[in-house]
C-alpha cells in the first residue's frame, strides 16, 4: 500500500499506540481488505473524547489474519443468490444489492469478502422485473450493498421510479452508513429525490458509537426528516468499541435526539477477519439488562442475531428462547 492510505493508517496506528510490528501486520490485513475512511470520519476522530472507538472500526489490524473456527467468508449463506444481486430471506421482503462499494470500510463488515466488485444496474433492474412478475408477495424492497448512497441521485431516482410501477409494494427501505460516513451526501437534491418517491421511504442508519452522531450527521438527519423519511438505527455490538452499557446508553439517547429510533442491536455476524470484535452473548444480555434499567423502552433496540435459514432475525434472550 502506498501514498495517502498508508499515511492515514500509520497516523491512526500511532493514535492507538501500536508497536511497529502491529502496524506491519495491519498493512498485511489491508492487502486482503483495503483500508478506506472518508474525510468526515477523521473529523469525528479529531473531535472525539473516545477516538479509539472510531479508529478501531476502520483500522486494519493483524488480528484479521487469524483463521478462527466458526468464522467464514459467507456467514449468512447469501451466496449464490447474492451473486445476482437479489437476496430473499424473509417473507414479503426483497433485498437488492444495488452496489458493492462503500464510502468507508468497516473492518467487521459481513460482506467484506464481496465488496468492490461491479454491479450492472440495467441487469439488476431486469432481474428485479422478472422476480416481481413471478409472484405478488413482495411488499417491501430493501436497497443494500455496499452502501446505496454511494450511487448518484440519477441512479437512485431510476430505482424509485421503477418501484412506482408496482402498486403492491408498500415501502422502500434503504440501509446505509451515508449520513455518518459522508453527511454532505444528504443534499437538497437527494432529499428531493427521496421525497418524490411514490412509496414511503425508511432509512436504516448503521451507527455504532455516540461520536458518530456529530453536528454534521445530525444536520444530515434533519434534512432527511424534512423529507418525511422514517429514520431507524441499527448497531453492531463490538468488543473494544461499544461493549458497555455506558457507551450504548449515550448512543441511543443521542440517536433519539437526532430523530433515529433504535431498531436493532446485532450480535456480530461471524465473518472471517472479524473474530476479535465478537462479544459473548452472555455479556450482551448483561448490557441489555442495564440498558432496560437506565433508558425508556423506546430507546432500547432489540438484541438479535441473524441465523441462515431462519424466517426472521432471532432475538437473543435469557435462556435462548425466542420472544413470542
> Would you state the pLDDT for residue 41?
97
Q: What are phi and psi of 141, to 5 degrees?
A: -110, 145
Q: Please spell the DSSP secondary structure of 171-229, one letter per residue.
A: EEEEEE-HHHH-GGG--HHHHHHHHT-SS-EEEEEE--SGGGS-HHHHHHHHHHHHTT-
> Would you state the pLDDT for residue 323?
39
> Would you state the pLDDT for residue 116?
84
pLDDT per residue, tens digit, the chain (324 aa), is 556 888 999 999 999 999 999 989 999 999 999 999 999 999 999 999 989 999 999 999 999 999 999 999 999 988 766 667 999 989 999 999 999 999 999 999 999 998 888 999 999 999 999 999 987 789 999 999 999 999 999 999 999 999 999 989 999 999 999 999 999 999 999 999 999 999 999 999 999 999 999 999 999 999 999 999 999 999 999 999 999 999 999 999 999 999 999 999 999 999 999 999 999 999 999 999 999 999 999 999 999 999 998 989 999 998 764 433
Pair 151, 103: CB distance under 8 Å: no
> Would you state the pLDDT for residue 134?
80
**pTM of the full structure:** 0.95
> Would you state the pLDDT for residue 80?
67
Unique residue bearing C-alpha cell 479508529: 55
Domains of the chain: 3-65 (no CATH), 81-320 (3.20.20.70)
Amino acid at each position: 500500500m502506498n501514498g495517502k492510505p498508508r499515511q492515514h493508517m500509520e497516523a491512526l496506528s500511532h493514535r492507538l499506540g501500536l508497536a511497529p510490528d502491529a502496524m506491519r501486520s495491519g498493512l498485511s490485513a489491508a492487502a486482503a481488505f483495503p483500508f478506506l475512511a472518508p474525510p468526515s470520519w477523521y473529523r469525528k476522530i479529531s473531535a472525539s473524547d473516545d477516538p479509539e472507538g472510531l479508529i478501531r472500526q476502520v483500522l486494519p489490524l493483524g488480528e484479521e489474519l487469524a483463521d478462527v473456527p466458526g468464522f467464514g467468508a459467507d456467514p449468512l449463506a447469501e451466496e449464490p443468490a447474492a451473486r445476482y444481486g437479489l437476496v430473499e430471506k424473509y417473507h414479503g421482503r426483497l433485498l437488492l444489492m444495488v452496489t458493492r462499494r462503500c464510502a468507508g470500510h468497516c473492518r467487521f463488515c459481513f460482506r467484506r469478502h464481496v465488496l468492490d466488485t461491479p454491479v450492472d444496474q440495467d441487469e439488476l433492474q431486469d432481474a428485479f422485473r422478472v422476480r416481481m412478475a413471478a409472484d405478488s408477495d413482495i411488499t417491501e424492497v430493501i436497497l443494500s450493498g455496499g452502501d446505496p448512497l454511494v450511487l448518484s441521485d440519477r441512479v437512485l431516482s431510476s430505482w424509485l421510479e421503477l418501484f412506482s410501477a408496482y402498486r403492491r409494494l408498500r415501502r422502500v427501505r434503504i440501509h446505509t452508513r451515508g449520513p455518518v460516513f459522508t453527511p454532505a451526501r444528504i443534499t437538497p437534491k437527494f432529499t428531493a429525490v427521496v421525497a418524490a418517491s411514490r412509496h414511503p421511504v425508511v432509512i436504516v442508519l448503521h451507527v455504532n458509537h455516540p461520536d458518530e452522531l456529530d453536528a454534521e450527521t445530525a444536520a444530515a438527519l434533519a434534512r432527511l426528516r424534512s423529507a418525511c423519511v422514517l429514520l431507524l438505527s441499527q448497531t453492531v455490538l463490538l468488543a473494544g468499541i461499544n461493549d458497555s452499557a455506558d457507551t450504548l446508553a449515550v448512543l441511543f439517547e443521542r440517536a433519539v435526539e437526532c430523530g433515529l429510533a433504535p431498531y436493532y442491536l446485532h450480535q456480530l455476524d461471524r465473518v472471517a477477519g472479524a473474530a476479535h470484535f465478537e462479544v459473548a452473548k452472555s455479556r450482551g444480555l448483561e448490557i441489555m439488562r442495564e440498558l432496560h434499567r437506565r433508558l425508556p423502552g423506546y430507546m432500547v433496540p432489540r438484541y438479535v442475531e441473524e441465523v441462515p435459514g431462519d424466517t426472521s432475525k432471532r432475538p437473543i434472550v435469557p435462556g435462548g428462547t425466542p420472544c413470542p
